[in-house]
Structure 1
Amino acid sequence: MNWWKWLFSSLIILIAVVAIVASATIYSALYISLPAYDTKLAADVSATVRVDRDNLGYLSIHAANRQDASYALGFAHAQERFFQMDLLRRNAAGELAGLFGSRAVAADKALRQHRFRHHAEQALQQLTQQQNQLLQGYTNGVNAGLNALTLPPFEYWILRQQPQPWQATDSFLVIYSMYLDLQGKLGRDEYAMTVLKNSIDSDWYHFLQQHSQHWQAAIDASIIPAVLMPRSAYPSVLTQQLNACVQCDVKDATDIGSNNFAVSGTLTHHGSAILADDMHLGLRVPNTWYKAQLNWRQNNQIIQVTGLSLPGAPAIVVGSNTNIAWGFTNSTGDWHDLIKLTLSDDGKRYLSQDGWQPLQYHYETIKVAHDKDQALELASTHWGPVVYFPANHSTNPTAKNSAGNTSNSNDNQAYALRWVGYDSKAVNFNLIALETASTVQQAVNLAPNIGIPAQNLVVADAAGHIAWTIAGAIPKRSLDYDWDTAQDWSQQPDYWQGYIDATEQPAIINPSIKRLWSANARTVGADMYAKIGNGGYDLGARGQQIRDQLLDNTAFNEADLHQIQLDNNAKMLARWQQLLLSQLTAEFIEEHQLQQYQNQVSLSSDQANVNAIGYTLVKHFRQQLLQLQFAPLSALLEQQGAASRDLKFSLEPAIWQMLQQKRADTVVAPYTDWQHLMQSAILQSKQQLEQQNGSIDNSRWGLVNQAKIQHPLALAIPYFGNWLNMPNTEMNGDSHMPRVQGSTFGQSQRLVVAPGQEHLGILTMPTGQSGHPLSPFYRADHTYWLNGVTLPFLPGAKKYQLLLTPQP
């Protein structure tokens, strides 16, 4: 038996040695693939460029001109973030299968319908000579930075791939990827609205899709009145759950959020206006943004622009140039429309205002890593690509339609998608002009021609002025038309007639209240609202909470605005707490042993903080009540290939009015009355939390709301993958409050700055500057962001210096 012990011991030792050698090899390869932070390299620049980094990796570029600065920024982006950039361009172009193989083919087929690589090639031809030079400089810098790495980024080792060179058009694809992120409903919202409108009486349709009378915070003080509950009976199709829904989550908060707000210089001690901006996006490793300061000489002056760049693009996206500071939130306007098509019997022609037109076919090839290529046929109209919304794929057979898409054989209605993203105004690099603007008026004048997904732009300047406008082109459309549902455009001229003139662009400059804010809710009313439309606004609760704090004070500094960004008070849930407590009758409490439940709801519901149990209970009660009441609505939409989460409205206003009136006909089956429904929601939500967490006492909000910020390839790496992720951490905050925070979604940065007073500013973001796990900057910012600790807006003292010198 001793030889068995010897063999076993030897095998253990051998496995340990192999593991140590493998780990050492991987570590060594990772180490030598690190960027060189302290060195001198020959580069395609006109004069020596200094690329400095502080102890957190904050980048400072000092160049003789903007083109050299663009080259250096591309160089740094590639060295720290090339894989992230590659994912952005491949996502927009529908080329993910080239990296990830056959598992990404379905996603590529869906993405290819937009033909964004084709649009990017067209956009490149429209650049001015100066913009083209800047973009080419950036592109050259990216490829030089990639080639300067000793080994490719580690992600390519895992995928058994080689990184492909950057092309100038790829920077446009990065912008298109943001279109998909920020305007990604792609007609699903208007299809869902169409299904609902066609399924119920018009008075109930208008009641359900109303704005909230309680949660409005437009910056022009406009109010949209409540729609009163119709006297007619509630539609039976919304009370009888004939078929259960699979995805019963109902529309609550907008998918993409952000806050930005500003105060006039008359309210600050230094006289400069102060801007605050926190953009809410999906959280991942590395973070979306990259902190950078660009310094260059122009017309015998030093230009300095500081803020956040987007790896893959040569511009500072939000920040300050010492004269103005600017920030964005998603406008949530209506930037696309769904057109109901009439196809010929053979399915190859469509009816237009000019008669029958042939469908246009485009043929593409999807490259698939480690597998054979796949051919794809795409059909489009002069309005846009042909799209289908197949119903209930889980139970009905599917068939190929004439456009080559899979669609339900019982519902082959074809649509065309008309989207700003397909037009020539969609992408450009006019954003760069903000870097040298000196007043809010100049920024407002530039905004209509900035080629980005339409954003609420808030600007503050050193003279104390503030302004709001829409950055991006706005379609010129008939104002008396139903833009929320699919329409037939074949019988009259196109409903889009170009874009509104820049002089018609909505704007508010220096409002009398000396404060501005936006938070993805309806921002303005009347004619301005009619131009922007409704793309699925968030409730105004978050914006109202910001507005009220701005109005409650008459003097502000940078720290004051940062505290508003961190506000996790549950103002919107206060009335839900009272409603919940009203249902906890003595008899109900005793029957179901709810004494501890009641205590927690009473004591800890006012904030979404990590120690609050009551907040968790109220939130889940509300969610469960919404889900139970509107399950038939979700089922109705699902059966026709739609989803309630895609509706252009929150169901909060409708259910609250129902709760006030408690009409018997509005209660969903099988519940006998509203008290029965509410008490069932209490018990069901409590039971679910106990199943998930073990008990009510273990349902602290921090345990429920843990940040899980992960690298996209972490799950593909056995044993060591979790090392790439940020630690799971309990987080304050939630939706419907300024501090938006979920497990994988939240404040992608927190910026507060007054132009000319940048030394007092704040700039914090999750994760860190680098995408390399051995870089000292991989996690450098994360602890500060987690704990709401401020970091300076400006870069710190130089710790590392890279010199890019002209080639001999």
Structure 2
Amino acid sequence: MAGFVRIGAWLMAGLVALALLALLVGWMWMRASLPLLDGPLVLPGLQGEAQVERDADGTVTISAGSESDAMRVLGFVHAQERYFEMDLMRRSAAGELAALVGAPALPVDRRVRVHRMRARVEHLYAQASAHERELLEAYAEGANSGLDALRARPWAYGLLRTRPEPWRPEDALLVGYAMFFDLQDSDNRREWSLLQARRHLGADALELLTRDGSHWDAPLQGTERELLDVARVVDLLGPVHALHAAGEARLADDEDPPVKGSNNFAVAGTLTRDGRALVADDMHLGLRAPNIWFRAQLRYPAADAPGGQVDVGGVTLPGLPGVVVGSTGHVAWGFTNSYGDYHDFVRVHWVDREAGRYRVPGGEDGVTRHREELAVLGGAPEVLEVVETRWGPVLHDDLDDTSLALAWTAHRAGSLDLGLLRMTRAADLDAALDIANRAGVPVQNAVIGDRSGRIGWTLMGRLPRRVGDCDPLQALDPVMDGCDWDGWLEPDEVPRILDPGSARLWTANSRVVDGVDLPRVGDGGYDLGARQRQIRDALLARDVFEEADLLAIQLDHRAVFLETWWQLLRELIAEAGPGHLGLQALEPATRHWEGEARAYAVAYPLVRAFRAEVIRLVLDTILAPVREAEGEDFLPPRVPQAEAFVWPLASIRPEAWVPSGHASWLEAFDAAALKVAEEAGGSGAVGTRSWGERNTARIRHPLAGALPAPLARRLSMPAQPLPGDSHLPRAQGPSFGASQRMVVAPGHEEHGVLHMPGGQSGHPLSPFWGSGHEEWVQGRASPFLPGEPKHRLVLSPAANL
């Protein structure tokens, strides 16, 4: 017996030793893929010596002898820190994710591959200027050198049991197009859903669903829309009994999904103590670990830059050369997504569908058929046929034997280039605005300030020129009515605002312009104006500003927008009798109104959810005929301006228009409240759960979801309760929010603020994994400029050694 015990002990000890050995091997393998931080290194292709310095948070400062060398070194650093994330970006835009992660990514690849971005960027690269190709090639060669200099392939590829493919010069353009996919509606789902609605609803109801603003608007140009009169709403909707019963069907889980966009705003030097303009920017995107952005300062000589030197800092996008948002000492700039209309369906009239002939103005044309092969890791490739017309790929067949092709700016030559890099050469506001109007990027609201104290706004990127008197929310028909696209608007046709009389500027993904400029920009589903208005009002409430004041506006989580909904809910509770179980269930928890989306707020999430349920009741009723007719193909339209007509109905409660399935408005409100109470855990649990319990950070590495919980936690930021919400300046949710916050005055960068979530490094063993994240969570000001160098890497050309 003793012998068996000894054998068992030896076996157990051996298993423990093997486990420890496996852990040691895994730890050594992980460490082998850490970036190089110190020492000398030869970088092939470099023309002169360069340096890479890192401060305590891993913020990088690159000093080089030329722009080309700076981009080569930036590519080297990006690849060392973030090659896997760069790879995901290029693959997401090319529809090549399944080749890396397997069949689960095929639905995404099918949807994206129809745009054939790989072929488009190859053509775009071939047509680029010699200078742009030089920079793209330098960046790609630097990235491949950075990958080769790692002692082991990046750790994520080891988990996937694959090897990284080399970086190509045109891959940077794919990363640029990845932002088009992220910021714009690449499937044109909004217009498709409205086309469905148009088949079954009258023009009046559609007028409400496509309303271009509300009483919450705060545009830079023009004024807010007047509050709709309830009689006008009822007149447009018609009698409610003419609509089908809404039944139990529900629309999307949230009538206000997060808008990918941002806040940016600025004050002129006349409102600061020393005459400096202040620019604030916080770009709202999906949050992950590591963060989408990478902090860097680039320094290199350039004869056409002010003073012959570029010194630009801010955030870069791994995979793309240059600084995306930042300051040069002469100008500072920040972006929000414009949500203009940059997509149209074009009706295709077939002559001979089998042969692929279709009508065009004055004749016929033939489609081009492309055979796209979708590679799949561990499986057989899939073949996708893409049918393209002169307007774009065919996405849908319509009911009248025609089809719908997609015209999207991203498909057109000139939609993307490296023009943003020219911002480093801008000496003042006028030069920066000219660069913005000529650059190829997903169209953005650009707010810019210069060192003289001036501020301005314009749209950065290229806008399509539409011809014909057409409704862009209907399919264009070049054959029948001459509606089409004809190139780009000229820079002097793009709206601008310089030196505003208020000395203030603000945008937040809502309507910015009016009059003749609004049709030029269009409505691509821009956001309700509540967040933009709250920012405007905060700016107008002060006459003197410094950096901390603009940061405070970025962190503002006051729930101004929901104040009236709380008041309405309390009025309804007072009116309701004991038989109204839903409203009575909400009574105790909503007595005290916090007035903020604080992490510990309990009334806020209930009022928020109540508003959402009321909007669903109204939209369910309006859209019931569309849902019934379209069946499984029904696509609920996003109606960001629903507040414009739902609030008048909810506040006045006209007897002529009670939501379907309910005998009275009070009964409908009680049903909405009961739904809120049930989702809060039942009547006994209402008020026991705070906003922070729902709004808890879920910021993880892309591979975390496929790993056991202990490893997933190691690849995630802490699960901390977060304040803020989508209609408030501090717009943040569990995995969505400010991907950076910046406040800076050009020429006074030493006083600036810049922080971001998710950390600087993509390696969980790096000292910079998660660096700066806690400052972002707490909203603490951290310096815009890099701190004292803690690491220095000296890069030399091969010829010097």
TM-score bucket of the superposed structures, by smaller chain = over 0.9
Say which SS state the counterpart of residue 587 (structure 2) adopts.
Answer: helix
Match of 1:714 in 2: 704
1:294 matched to 2:315: no
The CA deviation at 1:5 is 6.5
The CA deviation at 1:753 is 0.1
Match of 1:546 in 2: 535
Match of 1:21 in 2: 21
Alpha-carbon separation, structure 2, partners of 1:665 and 1:711: 52
Equivalence map 1:445-524=2 (5 Å): 445-478=434-467, 480-493=469-482, 495-524=484-513
Say which SS state the counterpart of residue 388 (structure 1) adopts.
Answer: strand
The CA deviation at 1:752 is 0.3
Return 259-268 or 248-257, whichever deviates more. 248-257
Say which SS state the counterpart of residue 671 (structure 2) adopts.
Answer: helix
Match of 2:38 in 1: 38
Equivalence map 1:224-373=2 (5 Å): 224-226=225-227, 228-231=232-235, 234=238, 239-241=243-245, 244-245=248-249, 247-249=251-253, 251-252=255-256, 255-299=259-303, 301-344=308-351, 346-347=353-354, 348-373=356-381
Distance of aligned partners of 1:109 and 1:592 in 2 relative to their CA distance in 1, 3 Å threshold: closer
Partner deviation per Cα, 1:200-228 (whole Å, 9 max, x = no partner)? 12122213332443201001243444553
Alpha-carbon separation, structure 2, partners of 1:508 and 1:594: 48
Alpha-carbon separation, structure 1, partners of 2:255 and 2:359: 34
In 1, are the aligned partners of 2:582 and 2:674 still within 8 Å (CA)?
no
Distance of aligned partners of 1:411 and 1:704 in 2 relative to their CA distance in 1, 3 Å threshold: farther
Alpha-carbon separation, structure 2, partners of 1:389 and 1:26: 52
In 2, are the aligned partners of 1:257 and 1:279 still within 8 Å (CA)?
yes
In 2, are the aligned partners of 1:715 and 1:722 still within 8 Å (CA)?
no
The CA deviation at 1:284 is 0.9
Distance of aligned partners of 1:703 and 1:12 in 2 relative to their CA distance in 1, 3 Å threshold: farther
Q: Residue type matched to 1:99 in 2?
A: L
Say which SS state the counterpart of residue 31 (structure 2) adopts.
Answer: helix
Return 285-294 or 201-210, whichever deviates more. 201-210
Match of 1:376 in 2: 384
Distance of aligned partners of 1:240 and 1:136 in 2 relative to their CA distance in 1, 3 Å threshold: same
Alpha-carbon separation, structure 2, partners of 1:7 and 1:589: 73
Distance of aligned partners of 1:619 and 1:5 in 2 relative to their CA distance in 1, 3 Å threshold: farther
Match of 1:699 in 2: 689
Partner deviation per Cα, 1:87-124 (whole Å, 9 max, x = no partner)? 01001111111101222223212211111111111211
Distance of aligned partners of 1:238 and 1:573 in 2 relative to their CA distance in 1, 3 Å threshold: farther
Distance of aligned partners of 1:645 and 1:581 in 2 relative to their CA distance in 1, 3 Å threshold: same
Match of 1:805 in 2: 796
The CA deviation at 1:240 is 2.9
Equivalence map 1:164-243=2 (5 Å): 164-226=165-227, 228-231=232-235, 234=238, 239-241=243-245
In 2, are the aligned partners of 1:633 and 1:644 still within 8 Å (CA)?
no
In 2, are the aligned partners of 1:506 and 1:528 still within 8 Å (CA)?
yes
Say which SS state the counterpart of residue 415 (structure 1) adopts.
Answer: strand
Q: Residue type matched to 2:517 in 1?
A: M
Q: Residue type matched to 1:372 in 2?
A: A
Alpha-carbon separation, structure 1, partners of 2:289 and 2:634: 30
In 1, are the aligned partners of 2:214 and 2:641 still within 8 Å (CA)?
no
Match of 1:588 in 2: 577
Distance of aligned partners of 1:672 and 1:648 in 2 relative to their CA distance in 1, 3 Å threshold: closer
Return 267-276 or 211-220, whichever deviates more. 211-220
In 2, are the aligned partners of 1:610 and 1:702 still within 8 Å (CA)?
yes
Tell me the TM-score normalized by structure 2.
0.94
Distance of aligned partners of 1:209 and 1:235 in 2 relative to their CA distance in 1, 3 Å threshold: farther
In 1, are the aligned partners of 2:243 and 2:624 still within 8 Å (CA)?
no
Identity over aligned pairs, percent: 37
Distance of aligned partners of 1:143 and 1:552 in 2 relative to their CA distance in 1, 3 Å threshold: same
Match of 2:743 in 1: 752
In 2, are the aligned partners of 1:535 and 1:648 still within 8 Å (CA)?
no
Say which SS state the counterpart of residue 262 (structure 2) adopts.
Answer: strand
Match of 1:398 in 2: none
Return 789-798 or 14-23, whichever deviates more. 14-23
Alpha-carbon separation, structure 2, partners of 1:242 and 1:789: 47
The CA deviation at 1:488 is 2.7
Match of 1:407 in 2: none
Say which SS state the counterpart of residue 469 (structure 1) adopts.
Answer: strand
Distance of aligned partners of 1:355 and 1:520 in 2 relative to their CA distance in 1, 3 Å threshold: same
Alpha-carbon separation, structure 1, partners of 2:589 and 2:4: 61
Equivalence map 1:644-663=2 (5 Å): 646-647=637-638, 649-663=640-654
Segments of structure 1 that go 5 or more residues without pairing to the other structure are: 391-409
Return 266-275 or 15-24, whichever deviates more. 15-24
Alpha-carbon separation, structure 1, partners of 2:608 and 2:192: 29
Say which SS state the counterpart of residue 680 (structure 1) adopts.
Answer: helix
1:762 matched to 2:753: yes
Alpha-carbon separation, structure 2, partners of 1:479 and 1:333: 19
Say which SS state the counterpart of residue 51 (structure 1) adopts.
Answer: strand
Alpha-carbon separation, structure 2, partners of 1:237 and 1:452: 48
Alpha-carbon separation, structure 2, partners of 1:235 and 1:776: 64
Match of 2:722 in 1: 731
Alpha-carbon separation, structure 1, partners of 2:616 and 2:582: 24
In 2, are the aligned partners of 1:292 and 1:309 still within 8 Å (CA)?
yes
Partner deviation per Cα, 1:13-60 (whole Å, 9 max, x = no partner)? 444333322222111111121111012111121111010000000000
Alpha-carbon separation, structure 1, partners of 2:433 and 2:633: 38
In 1, are the aligned partners of 2:287 and 2:737 still within 8 Å (CA)?
yes
The CA deviation at 1:389 is 7.1
The CA deviation at 1:771 is 0.2
In 2, are the aligned partners of 1:341 and 1:350 still within 8 Å (CA)?
yes
Return 271-280 or 365-374, whichever deviates more. 365-374
Equivalence map 1:401-412=2 (5 Å): none
Distance of aligned partners of 1:222 and 1:93 in 2 relative to their CA distance in 1, 3 Å threshold: same
In 2, are the aligned partners of 1:251 and 1:644 still within 8 Å (CA)?
no
Q: Residue type matched to 1:97 in 2?
A: A
Provide the alpha-carbon RMSD of the alignment. Answer: 2.3
Return 586-595 or 164-173, whichever deviates more. 586-595
Alpha-carbon separation, structure 2, partners of 1:567 and 1:389: 46
Alpha-carbon separation, structure 2, partners of 1:526 and 1:695: 50
Distance of aligned partners of 1:589 and 1:694 in 2 relative to their CA distance in 1, 3 Å threshold: closer
Q: Residue type matched to 2:27 in 1?
A: Y
Q: Residue type matched to 1:24 in 2?
A: L
Alpha-carbon separation, structure 2, partners of 1:61 and 1:575: 51
The CA deviation at 1:637 is 4.8
Tell me the TM-score normalized by structure 1.
0.93
In 1, are the aligned partners of 2:268 and 2:453 still within 8 Å (CA)?
yes
In 2, are the aligned partners of 1:191 and 1:486 still within 8 Å (CA)?
no
Distance of aligned partners of 1:413 and 1:423 in 2 relative to their CA distance in 1, 3 Å threshold: same
Say which SS state the counterpart of residue 572 (structure 1) adopts.
Answer: helix
Distance of aligned partners of 1:181 and 1:70 in 2 relative to their CA distance in 1, 3 Å threshold: same
Match of 1:95 in 2: 96
The CA deviation at 1:3 is 7.5
Q: Residue type matched to 1:760 in 2?
A: H
Q: Residue type matched to 1:509 in 2?
A: L
Say which SS state the counterpart of residue 690 (structure 1) adopts.
Answer: coil
Distance of aligned partners of 1:414 and 1:245 in 2 relative to their CA distance in 1, 3 Å threshold: farther
Say which SS state the counterpart of residue 608 (structure 2) adopts.
Answer: helix
Say which SS state the counterpart of residue 577 (structure 2) adopts.
Answer: helix
In 2, are the aligned partners of 1:241 and 1:635 still within 8 Å (CA)?
yes
Alpha-carbon separation, structure 2, partners of 1:342 and 1:665: 43
Say which SS state the counterpart of residue 622 (structure 1) adopts.
Answer: helix
User: Which of 618, 626, 631 is the equivalent residue of 2:620?
Assistant: 631
The CA deviation at 1:243 is 6.6
Q: Residue type matched to 2:669 in 1?
A: M
Q: Residue type matched to 2:290 in 1?
A: P
